[in-house]
Amino acid sequence: MFSFKLGLKNLTRQKRRNALTILVIAFAFFSYLLMDSLMNGMEEMSFENIKNYDTGNIQVTYPEYWEDREKLPLENLIYLNQDMEESIKDTDGLLGVSPELRFKANLNNGIDEVAVMGMGISIEQYNEVFATQNYVVEGSMFAPGESKAVIGVSLAELMDLKVNDYITLLVRTKEDTFNTIDVEIAGLIRAPNPMINNGIVFVPLDVAQQALNVGKGVSLLALKTVSGDEDTATKALTDSFKNKDMDLKAYSWKESAASVIALSVAKKGGIGAILSIVLLIGMLGIINNVILSALERTEEIGMMKALGMREWEIVFVFMVEATGIGILGGLAGCLIGYAGVSGLVKYGYGLGYIGGDGSAYGIPILDRMYGTWNYPAFGFLFVLGVIVALLSSILPAYWAAHKDPVKAIYHR
Amino acid sequence: MALLELNKVKKIYQQGKIEVPALRGIDLTVEQGEFTTIFGPSGSGKTTLLNMIGCLDTPTEGEIRLNDKKVSDLSRKELAMTRRYNIGFVFQSYNLIPVLTAYENVEFAIRLTDHTSESQMKEKVLKMLAEVGLKGLESRRPNELSGGEKQRVAIARALVKEPKLVLADEPTANLDSETAAGVVDIMRKMNKELNTTFIFSTHDPMVMKYANRFINLKDGMISADERRG
């Protein structure tokens, strides 16, 4: 089709302007792909950090405790019995169970005091569920039977503490009397989830239970399951508890990560807004290009009409040209986007500008965020970009084609 | 039956509140095969008249019939189709498409009308380019051609679809006299060989000596209409 050929040939006119439009589109595509990769990476890392260092895949507790869990109450604790253990053991894909006693405490180093969350854990079971042990940067996790503590590096820096120092945790027992836990620091951790590093003191479960006077009570059971199976396992567990007339309930990690999930939803909105801006930039570039081309080629348009070309045929010539620019811009954008995303996946993006700690912004990520590959985004953006280029050329092209042929031919 | 008939054609342009009459009542009949020049001073209405005849513009009053069809009754699409199949244009400023070669500029016109095979189409275009003396220059772009050569491409583009009527608005205005003579020669040859009707607007006395009909326009009216030989 000759009009198609003419449209393509017109791409070689005004090379600098076309190249600039292509560059603008490419840069907009590149920015979107980078942002999309980073946002998805942030989401993925956040979820992994929550599961691997905070909640496990599933948490089992009483609904009353769950309601008040932020307040770290010592009410509605779980006292494990055989029925409970059987129900949990029967969970499909179960990899580990970690009982936790969470409590409010004030950490005292002899000079200063700071409010922290105490976490009584059974170290062997904890290690089956969480990966925190891999991030001990000094000393070690306490061994079973040891009466020691592990704290985060950030907390240690804040309180000027180091390994082998003694700390005192001031706690209130179940009966609301004061008690203390005096322990030596066995190790310092620097987990990828900064929330773990900033305000948690890990102590042996039996030490915590004794100090808080809760018997064998635990706040919750953190379960590790095969990833992706959480929803089915959560439902199965809750049903199993119900069948045995137990009030316990299972909660997927997603329910503990509401704020991060809310961020993720906001992220989708943000990505949508960025996409709109990207498309708007492309659209404006194309419209500007078609209008300038039409103004420069007014006589030519007049000649085309004199030759008997119909308006839609002239519109088609401009559309081919605009679509060509869209395709080239899209390809260039995807190409540099590929390079950019490769860099993000490999080297990540440092959080130095926010002090390396995302937790201040509700993001459980430390030091560096990494991008992820989202191949459909490349295809989607390219196709959408080409469609937008094509559609945004129609109106200015129609304006050009609709010119009075006499005025067009003799416009000079 | 005449190829073209104009009855009391008037064209008035509105410039703000002022009405500017460009044509004040033209009666004209042109037969197939005539080689006609329209001459007259600037502002006499030559270009306006050509635009009316070429279906690029419509009269304010009066009637134009081309091939016995009333032009003012035609829709935009029908006007475009009339121009496509029946009329060839040659402009003073050539109006070639700069990204196309001489061959492609001519091919462009025939592609709109001719739906024969590729090889036949190619043959026609090459023959037409050869007819206007551009053999060997087919692959040159307009910026690689002289003014005379560009105008020959424009003539080839107008003639390749074998229209009944070719309208040329001051086709030699941008050419030196020798080149202009060559261009008019070609048009005269085509007129004789293909019986194509040519209507020129021109100031150029050299062009006028080739014509067999002379229409003198003055203040939007025909002041003289003379046939020769």
Q: How confident is the model at residue A400 (pLDDT cuts 50, 70, 90)?
A: confident
- Strands (DSSP E) contained in A10-164 are 58-61, 94-108, 113-121, 136-139, 148-152
Residue B139 touches chain A, beta carbons under 8 Å: no
Taking each helix axis from N to C terminus, what angle separates B177-194 and B118-131, rounded to the nearest 10 degrees? 130
CA dihedral sign, ordered A201, A203, A209, A213: negative
Q: How confident is the model at residue A361 (pLDDT cuts 50, 70, 90)?
A: low
Antiparallel, parallel or unpaired: β B221-227 and B213-218: antiparallel
User: Is A306 within 8 Å of B56 when comparing Cβ atoms?
Assistant: yes
Q: How confident is the model at residue A412 (pLDDT cuts 50, 70, 90)?
A: low
Looking at the complex, report in whole angstroms how far the Cα of residue B157 sits from the nearest Cα belonging to chain A. Answer: 9
Short-list A374, A94, A100, CA closest to A234 = A94
The total of other beta-carbon atoms located within 10 Å of residue A40's CB is: 18
Nearest CA in chain B to A11: B99
- Average pLDDT for chain A: 88
Distance CA A79, CA A82 (A): 10
Which residues have C-beta within 8 Å of that of residue A380, sequence separation ≥ 6?
A: none
Which residues have C-beta within 8 Å of that of residue A51, sequence separation ≥ 6?
A: A57, A227, A253
Distance CA B131, CA A19 (A): 40
User: Is B95 within 8 Å of A10 when comparing Cβ atoms?
Assistant: no
A262 pLDDT more than 80: no
Q: How confident is the model at residue A30 (pLDDT cuts 50, 70, 90)?
A: very high
Q: Which stretches of chain A sit within 8 Å of chain B by CB?
A: 2, 6, 9-10, 12-13, 299-300, 302-303, 305-311, 405-406, 409-410, 412
Instruction: Return the percentage of chain A with pLDDT > 70, whole number.
Output: 97
Antiparallel, parallel or unpaired: β A148-152 and A178-189: parallel
Distance CA A126, CA A191 (A): 14
Distance CA A289, CA A43 (A): 38
B120 pLDDT more than 70: yes
∠B68-B74-B76 over CA atoms, to 5°? Answer: 140
Of A55-59, A253-257, A384-388, which range is least confident?
A253-257
Q: How confident is the model at residue A125 (pLDDT cuts 50, 70, 90)?
A: very high
∠A366-A372-A376 over CA atoms, to 5°? Answer: 155
Q: What was the pLDDT predicted at A274?
A: 83
Distance CA B175, CA B204 (A): 11
User: Is B91 within 8 Å of A6 when comparing Cβ atoms?
Assistant: no
Q: What was the pLDDT predicted at B94?
A: 85
Average pLDDT over residues A1-29: 89
Q: Which residue has the tokens 């199976």?
A: A229
Average pLDDT over residues A215-242: 87
Q: What was the pLDDT predicted at B32?
A: 93
User: Using a CB-CB distance cutoff of 8 angstroms, which residues of chain A are in contact with residue B111?
Assistant: 2
User: Is A306 within 8 Å of B47 when comparing Cβ atoms?
Assistant: no
CB-nearest to A300 from B84, B85, B97 is B97
Q: List, as ranges, residues 160-199 from B with C-beta within 8 Å of A.
A: none
Q: What was the pLDDT predicted at A79?
A: 93
Q: What was the pLDDT predicted at A362?
A: 65
Higher pLDDT, A193 or B226: B226
Nearest CA in chain B to A412: B93
Residues listed for chain A: 412
pLDDT in tens, A53-66: 888 989 999 999 99
Residue B28: phi and psi, rounded to 5, are -155, 140
Q: What was the pLDDT predicted at B87?
A: 94
Distance CA B210, CA B202 (A): 12
- SS3 of residue B26 by DSSP: strand
Antiparallel, parallel or unpaired: β B197-202 and B213-218: unpaired
Q: Which residue has the tokens 């003639």?
A: B159
A103 pLDDT more than 90: yes
Nearest CA in chain A to B159: A307
Average pLDDT over residues B51-74: 90
User: Is A409 within 8 Å of B100 when comparing Cβ atoms?
Assistant: no
Antiparallel, parallel or unpaired: β B35-39 and B61-66: unpaired
Select, from the ranges A37-46, A200-209, A279-288, the one with the highest average predicted confidence (pLDDT): A200-209
Looking at the complex, report in whole angstroms how far the Cα of residue A263 sits from the nearest Cα belonging to chain B. Answer: 52
A288 pLDDT more than 70: yes
Q: How confident is the model at residue A360 (pLDDT cuts 50, 70, 90)?
A: low
Which residues have C-beta within 8 Å of that of residue A348, sequence separation ≥ 6?
A: A41, A368, A369, A370, A371
Of A184-193, A208-217, A351-360, B40-49, which range is least confident?
A351-360
Q: What was the pLDDT predicted at A226?
A: 82
- SS3 of residue B218 by DSSP: strand
Residue A155: phi and psi, rounded to 5, are -65, -40
The total of other beta-carbon atoms located within 10 Å of residue A325's CB is: 26
Distance CA B83, CA B114 (A): 14
Q: What was the pLDDT predicted at B215?
A: 94
User: Is A309 within 8 Å of B112 when comparing Cβ atoms?
Assistant: yes
A168 pLDDT more than 90: yes
Residue B77 touches chain A, beta carbons under 8 Å: yes
- SS3 of residue B19 by DSSP: strand
Mutate to test the interface with B, among A18, A300, A307, A402 (most CBs of B within 10 A): A307
B68 pLDDT more than 90: no
pTM confidence score = 0.78
A157 pLDDT more than 70: yes
Q: How confident is the model at residue B221 (pLDDT cuts 50, 70, 90)?
A: very high
Q: How confident is the model at residue B91 (pLDDT cuts 50, 70, 90)?
A: confident
Nearest CA in chain A to B105: A6
User: Using a CB-CB distance cutoff of 8 angstroms, which residues of chain A are in contact with residue B91?
Assistant: 303, 306, 409
pLDDT in tens, B148-169: 899 889 989 998 988 999 999 8
A356 pLDDT more than 70: no
A257 pLDDT more than 80: no
Q: H/E element holding A305?
A: helix A298-306
Average pLDDT over residues A80-89: 85
Nearest CA in chain A to B88: A307
Residue A236: HSE in the Cβ half-sphere, 13 Å Cα cutoff: 16
Q: What was the pLDDT predicted at A411?
A: 66
Residues listed for chain B: 229
Average pLDDT over residues B185-193: 86
A206 pLDDT more than 90: yes
CA dihedral sign, ordered A19, A25, A30, A31: positive
- Strands (DSSP E) contained in chain B are 4-15, 18-30, 35-39, 61-66, 69-70, 87-90, 165-169, 197-202, 213-218, 221-227
The total of other beta-carbon atoms located within 10 Å of residue B193's CB is: 10
β-strand partners of A96 = A224
